[in-house]
């Protein structure tokens, strides 16, 4: 089987997929952590790989940026390739000074102003969607075993990266209690819901809208190892 966006056969993708935004981060994860790796996708340079981690098959694939992109890939993985679980592993911007660069966040809910869920399902959807509690519990257990601290909370999943109002995050933090921002988890959680599958999201703080600290693109690609190790350990 193949789709317009994924060139894999039905047997080439594992039941659990780790999904960073950057396809080069997917490549790095596969080359660093997995054994017996095969590349199952390079359509549009959205790289996907399957290998084994401590003897168990696992896949990793880029999602691209934003809800339309992860919406396509995650739906095809859930629906056409019968993937059971997708764990997004991405970067985020902090809305509060209680978060530091490189802190790892386990997302407990994704708030969004996006119409993605309502348009996709054809019915009005809530503005906050939730991950699989089963997967979140497993991620939390894995983090404790690895002695990796997690911050837990609701995050903002935005359709817009560059907003005209540079102080919008202050209102969102105050009114919605969202601790950080990214652009994909809301669509991922919705697709898991409508297909009857499981999804979760781990994020690493890459920059702060409060302190204006930021990591480089190279640091984001290579230094977010704790988040990756938690996700991989849960998968086994």
Q: Are 39 and 107 spatial neighbours (Cβ–Cβ below 8 Å)? A: no
Token pair of 7, please?
A: 């060139």
213: left (phi over 0), alpha (psi -120 to 50) or beta: beta
Q: 22 catalytic, yes or no?
A: no
Q: State the catalytic residue, choosing from 82, 159, 167, 207.
A: 207
Element spanning 122, H or E: none
CA distances 192 to 94, 129, 169, 196, Å, are 26, 10, 27, 6
Distance from C-alpha of 184 to C-alpha of 63, rounded to nearest angstrom: 9
Q: Are 222 and 32 spatial neighbours (Cβ–Cβ below 8 Å)? A: no
CA distances 6 to 21, 28, 75, Å, are 16, 19, 11
Active site residue ranges:
207
């Amino acid at each position: 089987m193949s789709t317009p966006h994924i060139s894999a056969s039905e047997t080439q993708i594992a039941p659990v997929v780790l999904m960073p935004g950057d396809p080069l981060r997917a490549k790095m994860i596969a080359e660093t952590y997995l054994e017996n790796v095969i590349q199952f996708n390079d359509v549009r340079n959205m790289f996907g790989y399957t290998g084994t981690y401590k003897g168990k098959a696992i896949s990793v694939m880029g999602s691209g940026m934003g809800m339309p992109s992860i919406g396509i890939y995650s739906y095809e993985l859930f629906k056409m390739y019968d993937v059971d679980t997708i764990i997004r592993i991405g970067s985020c911007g902090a809305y509060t000074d209680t978060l530091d660069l490189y802190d790892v966040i386990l997302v407990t809910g994704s708030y969004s102003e996006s119409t993605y869920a309502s348009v996709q399902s054809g019915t009005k959807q809530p503005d906050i969607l939730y991950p699989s509690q089963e997967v979140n519990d497993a991620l939390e257990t894995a983090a404790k075993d690895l002695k990796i601290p997690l911050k837990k909370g609701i995050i903002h999943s935005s359709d817009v990266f560059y907003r005209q109002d540079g102080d919008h995050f202050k209102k969102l933090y105050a009114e919605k209690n969202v601790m950080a921002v990214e652009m994909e988890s809301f669509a991922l959680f919705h697709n898991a819901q409508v297909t009857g599958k499981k999804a979760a999201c781990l994020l690493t703080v890459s920059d702060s809208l409060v302190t204006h600290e930021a990591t480089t693109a190279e640091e984001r690609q290579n230094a977010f190892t704790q988040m990756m190790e938690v996700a991989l350990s849960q998968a086994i």
